[in-house]
Chains A and B, each alone.
Chain A
Amino acid sequence: MHNIANILCYALIIYGSSMMGFTIARNYAERPRQLQALLTGVQILLTEIVYAATPLSEALQNLSRSCDTIGAFFSRVAQEIDNLKPARIAWEEGLEQLQAASALLAPDIEALRALGDVIGTSDREDQQRHLLLASRRIEGLHQSAVNEAAKNERLWRYLGVLAGIVAVIIIF
């Protein structure tokens, strides 16, 4: 009886620690994917704004069909703009929720925030400049996220399991 309880306890420790490792590893894997979705989003936004002069809320609504977390962000901002909120404020509020819900890190959010300050507030030429700048920044971030994921994803997956086993051995 005592033994079974012990084994269960050890299993739980290993399970918990592996899960922790997997979550961290998944964040590393998710970030490049989400940055890629953002990059595509910003590039589509550039086309919509510069070449089609599509109103911002409509353009953002079109983007909401992309990747879920990022799509939800675009769609939320679009809704708020439809509710007559200025884009800058809607964007800022959307970013707070995005940061909580996604694997994005502070520099990623910062790049988006810089775009939010100017989006929709000037003529097409100026918008093009800002959108190009943002997409270049996100591209850079994406590249580094890919590198980090390659380094860290597998590391954390193993590390979680191993840490669990080590803890069990020490307790044992």
Chain B
Amino acid sequence: MDKVINTDWTSLLKLFPPHWQDSLYHLDCLEIRARTGKPVQIVQSGKEIMLPIIASNQDIQHLVSAFSGSSLYAFEDELRQGYITLPGGHRVGFAGKALLDPKGHIRGLKHISTICLRIAKSVEGCADRLWRELLDAEGCPYHTLVISPPQAGKTTLLRDMARQLSDKGQRVCIIDERSEIAGCYNGRPQLDVGLRTDVLDGCPKAEGMLMALRALSPDVIVTDEIGSAEDASAIEEALNSGVRVMASAHGATYEEVAARPNLSTLLQRGLFQRVVILSNRRGPGTVEYIGGVFSRQKGELHAQHS
């Protein structure tokens, strides 16, 4: 049975302007989006609600203050990426006017007008039904690629796989470039990622993978949203050094992912032994396909998923 680890909603709620709190209290939110002058938008699994509250500029400033502990200047690096992570692993994305440095790179944001809070929820046990396909005879995981469109649960699945492998005795290293898998705050994972898990937080995937290989001697490396040429070569490096790799990639179908230049090389050379394809068809985490890369028998696992 999957256990959704709900976050401490009341303490998160305290960050919102006082007159929003009553309306938000009873809602089960995946995302909260606030835009200056527009109604507050709540995204629940599969549907959205527009609250009868118009976000004023002051409300947005209140949220920015609350999310940054009134210290926006301490989040310059994060703002350059466009988001910050809160205690509890929740992520806040911002939109506003970009500040550019003389070279034309983004230096930060000002006049923030949109706030998008994604609430972190881990679903413990969501990887349970997949292990039969994903573990070899010795109980080590195959090199696995999880393919899914946004919000279909690939990060949640990766997190649960990392947690379970780690609790079963494997040394797991998570390269968490966007602080999504472990939701680190001040370097400490805010979500349960297992006993034997090390997290390289905010670390570029390619460099992080090599760093983990050198320094942490992991059995399994877990990383999110691979795609660049550096990622591909670092994965190849890891795959060939006896470490198991579990990664995810954006895409709705196998064909979509196989069409991306860097990933296609990895897939064509058969470096990944298992592919899991997720969709939102029956709620987040619907398994569309699980199996080897070339032997694609579709359909068996559909029925098992609720």
Write the residues of chain A forming the contact surface with B, with a CB cutoff of 8 angstroms: 49-50, 53-57, 81, 84, 86-88, 90, 119-124, 126-127
Contacts and interface: CB of A to CB of B under 8 A. Distances in A.
A57 to B, nearest CB: 6
B108 to A, nearest CB: 5
Interface string B52-72: 000000000110111011111
B289 to A, nearest CB: 45
Contacts of B71: 49, 53-57, 120
Given A81-B70, A120-B71, A123-B110, A86 B76 contact: no
A56 B68 CA distance: 10
A54 B70 CA distance: 11
Contact of A84 (B14, B107, B108, B110): B14
Identify the interface centre among B65, B66, B108: most chain A CB within 10 Å of its CB. B65
Nearest to A127: B73
Given A84-B15, A87-B65, A123 B70 contact: no
B175 to A, nearest CB: 25
Identify the interface centre among A55, A90, A121: most chain B CB within 10 Å of its CB. A121
Contacts of B69: 55-57, 81
Given A84-B66, A86-B65, A124 B15 contact: no
A121 B64 contact: yes
Given A86-B66, A122-B73, A124-B73, 16 more contacts: A53-B76, A55-B69, A55-B74, A56-B70, A56-B71, A84-B14, A86-B61, A86-B62, A87-B65, A88-B70, A120-B68, A120-B72, A121-B65, A122-B110, A123-B79, A127-B73
Contacts of A56: 69-71, 74
Given A84-B15, A86-B61, A123-B110, A54 B66 contact: no
B73 A53 contact: yes
A123 B76 CA distance: 7
B99 interface: yes
A120 B69 CA distance: 8
A64 B1 CA distance: 52
Contacts of A50: 73
Contacts of A126: 73, 110
Given A86-B61, A121-B61, A53 B74 contact: yes
What is the interface residue range for chain B against chain A? Answer: 20 to 34
A88 B65 CA distance: 9
Contacts of A122: 72-73, 110
A119 B96 CA distance: 19
29 contacts: A49-B71, A49-B73, A50-B73, A53-B71, A53-B74, A54-B71, A55-B69, A55-B71, A56-B71, A57-B69, A57-B70, A81-B70, A86-B65, A86-B66, A86-B70, A87-B65, A87-B70, A90-B70, A120-B68, A120-B71, A121-B70, A122-B72, A122-B110, A123-B73, A123-B99, A123-B107, A124-B73, A124-B76, A127-B73
Contacts of A90: 70
Interface in B179-194: none
A138 B146 CA distance: 59
B70 A120 contact: yes
A125 B54 CA distance: 32
Nearest to B80: A123
A90 B70 CA distance: 10
Contacts of B65: 86-88, 120-121
Interface in B3-35: 14-15
A112 to B, nearest CB: 16
Contacts of A120: 65, 68, 70-73
Identify the interface centre among B14, B71, B108, B110: most chain A CB within 10 Å of its CB. B71
A87 B139 CA distance: 52
